[in-house]
Amino acid sequence: MQKPLFPRVILAVCFFCASSQAARMDEVTFQLDWLPGGDKAPLYVAIGKGFFAEQNIKVKISHGKGSSDSLTKLGVGIADVGYADLSSLLAAKAQEPLAVSAIMSVFSKAPHAFFSLKGSGIESVTDVKGKRVATSAFSSSVVFLPLLLNLNSIPKDSIRIIKVDAGALGPMLATGNTDVIISWMTDTVKYQSQVAIVGKELHVMPWYDAGLEFYSTVIVGTDKFLKARPDVAKRFLVAFQKAIEFTWAYPKESAAIVHDLVPEVDTQIALDTIINIRSLVYNNASDAHGLGIINSERLATSWSYVAQSQGFELDAIDPEEAINRSFMKAISPVTTNSEEKTGYLKVESK
């Protein structure tokens, strides 16, 4: 006996509807400013938890080799949105037209830091006087080092700078071939593991604790994308902000998501990174202005640091030229206690 046609028709219609819905999803290409890791967790959380899908968005990820590389690729239209350092964006805008704008803050504090060994007597920025300080030759931190030294009345010639390959920094500190290294707080877990091999512990001295406070990582979008698909950009930010809140409310689950989507990223390392960089996301700036919001006064301060460090005239650009504030309106005005909770009711234990 022939089976009734009706159920098969229903299944076919459902399949067609699901396929049509998937086909109608807005595709967005996201440009990373570096390799995947715990510091990029919100992007993967938004994919893994379906936050982008809730906004009818499908995201394709492109890897990068630094902020300059990210901005270059965005500038020529290879991607629609991406990560970049606001300092790099401001410097680029001061030199030539670049059709890219910041639409959301991710790290409202810069991750530059000194690293020393516990017990070495180097416990604050002022303790680096008379010490050997190793740094990568191409580190963006080097650009801001003179400002930090000036803010803390440390003569530039009172420290000995050693420029080495980035991969040599941790081993040099561990073996005593340098007293201090300069790097980003996002590398803390890597350096902790390297000094632990010789039975040592790491001490971290963020530069923002020594007065050098400014914006760092931001979400940027191409002006073409923002003009042509403004609704998609706004929905992207809604999903991304939700992912930021989830990441630091549930770091264990978020680290597992990063590993699931990028197997080469170790879950424990991703978790440790998420925990270690929380202060870059949740801090006095996010408390005062809201998560993801780029405050005009803090932006002006950030530009003044960039101008001083790279030799630009302060009036070379209006820093607001690098920001498209119309998309920030899509972000919920989440202001949270940086030490206690996020927008989620419960914060997962470490």
User: pLDDT tens, 285-318?
Assistant: 999 999 999 999 999 999 999 999 999 999 999 9
Indicate whether 223 and 323 sit together in one domain: yes
Residue listed under structure tokens 């906004």: 55
Question: What is the distance of C-alpha 205 from the center of its chain?
Answer: 19
Percentage of the chain exceeding pLDDT 70: 88
pLDDT at 343 over 50: no
Indicate whether 100 and 220 sit together in one domain: yes
* In a domain? residue 121: yes
Indicate whether 78 and 43 sit together in one domain: yes
**pLDDT confidence tier of residue 332, bands split at 50, 70 and 90:** low
| Stretch 254-274: mean pLDDT | 97
Average pLDDT, the chain: 89
Residue 177's domain is classified under what CATH number?
3.40.190.10
Comparing 350 with 111, which gets the higher pLDDT? 111
| Stretch 89-99: mean pLDDT | 93
pLDDT at 338 over 90: no
DSSP 8-state code for residue 127: G
* In a domain? residue 91: yes
pLDDT at 10 over 50: no
Residue listed under structure tokens 């050693």: 162
* Whole-number pLDDT of residue 69: 85
* Whole-number pLDDT of residue 147: 95
The DSSP string of 209-261 is: GGT-----EEEEEEHHHHHH-HHHHHHHHHHHHHHHHHHHHSHHHHHHHHHHH
Q: Token pair for residue 332? A: 């919920």
* Whole-number pLDDT of residue 63: 86
* In a domain? residue 206: yes
* Whole-number pLDDT of residue 3: 47
* Whole-number pLDDT of residue 93: 95
Q: Token pair for residue 14? A: 């459902």
| Domain ranges, residue 145 | 112-210
User: Kind of pairing, strands 217-222 and 100-105?
Assistant: antiparallel
* In a domain? residue 157: yes
Indicate whether 103 and 116 sit together in one domain: no
Based on the number of CB atoms within 10 Å of its own CB, is 346 exposed (0-12), middle (13-18) or buried (19 or more)? exposed
* Whole-number pLDDT of residue 342: 45
* In a domain? residue 152: yes
Which of 188, 210, 232 lies at the terminal end of a domain, its last residue? Answer: 210
Indicate whether 126 and 187 sit together in one domain: yes
Range in 7-21, 57-71, 185-199 the model is least confident about: 7-21
pLDDT at 39 over 90: yes
* Whole-number pLDDT of residue 333: 61
- What does each C-alpha distance from 38 to 201, 220, 290 come to in angstroms? 21, 20, 22
Percentage of the chain exceeding pLDDT 90: 80
User: Kind of pairing, strands 217-222 and 57-62?
Assistant: unpaired
Indicate whether 178 and 320 sit together in one domain: no
Indicate whether 229 and 287 sit together in one domain: yes
Which residue in 23, 33, 25 sits closest to 86, CA to CA? 33
Instruction: Determine the straight-line distance between the first and last CA of the chain, rounded to whole angstroms.
Output: 61
* Whole-number pLDDT of residue 247: 98
Range in 56-70, 207-221, 243-257 the model is least confident about: 56-70
Q: How far apart are CA 29 and CA 231, in angstroms?
A: 15
pLDDT at 122 over 60: yes
* Whole-number pLDDT of residue 348: 53
* In a domain? residue 315: yes
Which of 194, 210, 226 lies at the terminal end of a domain, its last residue? Answer: 210
| Stretch 317-339: mean pLDDT | 79
Other CB atoms within 10 Å distance of the CB of residue 145: 22
Q: Token pair for residue 347? A: 């914060």
Phi, then psi, of 311 in degrees rounded to 5: 75, 25
* In a domain? residue 101: yes
- Which residues, other chains included, contact 133 with Cβ-Cβ below 8 Å and sequence gap of 6+? 114, 159, 160, 161, 162, 178, 179, 180, 181, 182
Indicate whether 220 and 297 sit together in one domain: yes
The answer to whether the CB of 169 falls within 8 A of the CB of 136 is yes
Total count of domains within the chain: 2
Comparing 333 with 289, which gets the higher pLDDT? 289
* In a domain? residue 58: yes
Which of 184, 210, 236 lies at the terminal end of a domain, its last residue? Answer: 210
* Whole-number pLDDT of residue 257: 98
User: Using one digit for the tens of pLDDT, what is the confidence trace for 100-116?
Assistant: 999 999 999 999 999 99
